[in-house]
Amino acid sequence: MYCMKETILYVVVPCYNEEACLKETSRLLKNKLASLVKTGVISKNSKIVFVDDGSKDATWKIIEGLDGPIVGVKLAHNRGHQNALLAGLMYAKERADAIISMDADLQDDIEAMDKFLQKFREENCEIVYGVRSERKTDTAFKRNTALAFYKIMRKLGAETVYNHADYRLMSKRALDELSGYQEVNLFLRGIIPTIGLKTAEVKYVRNERFAGESKYPLKKMMGFAWDGITSFSVKPIRIILAVGIIVSVISLLVLLYALIVNMLGQAVSGWTFIICSIWLLGGIQMFSIGLIGEYVGKIYAETKRRPRYIIEKIVERNKPL
């Protein structure tokens, strides 16, 4: 039973150009962990792990200067949020009983950690998802596109948790299982639900960003969604196959119609129809080739087996809470 002893908790925070947030994030997290230690929920050996994902500003310099139970992990170059998060999780896996991941911008409610730990310690949940209870801080466009994304992912067969990003608790056992997933194209929101251990959800209200700019503009959000879809489902290719069959049947019917009209001796003036058909079929073919190429490209990346991240430097502060 997890509740038989104090839990060693590591909080993993991936960072990319977060110089405006880091000091406040560190202060609030240290205060939170100190209060949890005081109440006997977590061990005094608990720590905060900041992972610098190749930031171009003073993020790493600030991390090096932070005081307290802080670990700084610097990646050799920018590898993206998911790889930076994985680097922190794998570092913490051998040192903690439970790991909570969250973003550095303080949008995730730190106070929800109490419920995370309660689910972990008292209900023996191996994975606890932080789920947004509302999206009032989002624009109507972002809210609707997010809803569409989750629905599309479900339709395509990917397991995702609605309104969940990367604010979650994972046990050491869950991370041991996660380490067995070797794919280079990471989409942790889809991978982690496939682990299949006991899970729970905790509702929380997402705050406004504390400072700085969002690291997920529309273009990057669309790319992230596309990576998620193509990493977890081959249904888009099956859809192309279905479209190809339908278009082929329609083409045969049109050919039959043209032959009948020709045999009846009627002039066929369908220049516009022919041009439209050529453009339509050309567009479908180009889209199909592009989609198949996306899958081939992912296969190519996987077969090379390149490391998902390279850690350049680790700085550890051993001052207890």
Both tokens of 259, joined, read 């032959």
Please say whether the beta carbons of 311 and 73 come within 8 A: yes
Q: Residue 106: which region, alpha, beta or left (left: phi > 0; alpha: psi -120 to 50)?
A: left
> Tens digits of per-residue pLDDT, 217-233?
556 666 666 666 666 66
Cβ-count burial of 75 within 10 angstroms (0-12 exposed, 13-18 middle, 19+ buried)?
Answer: buried
How far is it between the farthest Cα atoms of the chain? 94
In terms of pTM, does the model score above 0.85? no
- Summarize pLDDT for 49-83 with one digit per residue, the tens: 999 999 999 999 999 999 999 999 999 989 888 99
pLDDT of residue 157: 65
- The larger pLDDT score, comparing residue 34 to residue 272, is at 34
Cα–Cα distances in angstroms (integers) from residue 224 to residues 139, 187, 252, in the given order: 19, 8, 39
Please give the Cα distance from 290 to 251 (Å, whole number).
22
Q: What is the pLDDT of residues 100-113, one digit of tens each?
A: 999 998 889 999 99
Q: Which CATH number fits domain 2-232+307-316: 3.90.79.10, 3.40.30.10, 3.90.550.10, 3.30.70.20?
A: 3.90.550.10
Helix locations, the chain, DSSP H:
22-38, 59-65, 81-93, 113-122, 140-155, 172-178, 188-191, 218-232, 235-263, 271-304
- The full set of domain ranges for the chain reads 2-232+307-316, 235-304
Instruction: State the pLDDT confidence band at 36, using cuts at 50, 70 and 90.
Output: very high
Give the pLDDT band (50/70/90) at residue 271. Answer: low
Pull the structure tokens for residue 271.
Answer: 């220049």
